[in-house]
Amino acid sequence: MLSFQFKQFTVWQDRCGMKVGTDGVLLGAWVAVGACKTILDVGSGTGLIALMLAQRSGAVVDAIDLDEAAFLQSRANVSASPFAGRINVYHASLAAYASTAERRYDLVVSNPPYFVRSLKSPDQQRTMARHADTLPLPCLVRDSLSLLTPNGRMAFILPSSREDELMDIAGKHGLNPIRKTEVIPRPGALPKRFLIELSTDPSLPCSTGLLTLEESRHHYTPAYRELTRDFYLNM
């Protein structure tokens, strides 16, 4: 599928290593945007999450991607959307961006590459998008923290198998979970992903939850339908 039609925008994905997927939609729909004035999307890919967050808020959204093709695809998708005036797309690594950016963010989000020590694709672009070599978790957390406003938060979606690793890294940087949702594919299955928000404020409690995606194959749960109804055409 060369493009994916959402209710308020279209995402073209023919030039990106990673296509539109459930993980990105989940993060874009789940993360709390509240009174955010500035948001950074790290590893924007198609621009999906940046577009979703612009739809859900009045914030200025900056999006960065290391891959030039993904950067160009994000920029084209943003330019064709109703939110073009509030989204800026940059071709940069997180480390380079963090070293020069003047803006600080109320929220930094990422659906990061997460494969570690797994077989790599002969497609270099797909490998970059999927493997953590280009954006290791310690670097993602460290550089995101340097870009936050004093009360800012960061939010990620990751495989459940990497939760302990993330919590260890977060603790070393004085970050605390304030919201976490485990994602279950269908009833009776083990969690495959977790969504998490982190903050430097130790006084904030952590709310937790579970989200089941499907009741059976292609039959989505009411909770998932409610979460994504402003985006998917048939929800």
- Tokens in use for 65? 């991607």
- Tokens in use for 170? 């977060």
- Are 12 and 3 in contact by the 8 Å Cβ rule? The answer is yes
- CA distance linking residue 94 with residue 82, whole number of Å: 26
pLDDT class of 19 with cuts at 50, 70, 90? confident
pLDDT of residue 113: 87
Q: Residue written as tokens 């550089």?
A: 143
Residue 127, pLDDT above cutoff 60: no
pLDDT of residue 233: 92
- CA distance linking residue 185 with residue 195, whole number of Å: 14
CATH 3.40.50.150 is right for the domain spanning 3-228: yes
The single-letter code of the amino acid at 213 is L
Looking at every residue in the chain, the average pLDDT score rounds to: 92
Residue 124, pLDDT above cutoff 80: no
Query: What predicted TM-score, i.e. pTM, was given to this entire model?
Result: 0.91
Angle between helical axes of 22-30 and 48-56 (0-180°, round to 10)? 20
- List pLDDT tens digits, range 34-59: 999 999 999 999 999 999 999 999 99
- Average pLDDT value for residue range 73-82: 97
pLDDT > 70 fraction of the chain, expressed in percent and rounded? 91
- Tokens in use for 30? 């789940």
- CA distance linking residue 24 with residue 50, whole number of Å: 10
pLDDT class of 104 with cuts at 50, 70, 90? very high
pLDDT of residue 115: 46
pLDDT of residue 222: 97
- List pLDDT tens digits, range 202-222: 999 999 999 999 998 889 999
pLDDT class of 133 with cuts at 50, 70, 90? low
Domain residue extents for the chain: 3-228
- Are 189 and 163 in contact by the 8 Å Cβ rule? The answer is no
- List pLDDT tens digits, range 143-197: 999 999 999 999 999 999 999 999 999 999 999 999 999 999 999 999 999 999 9
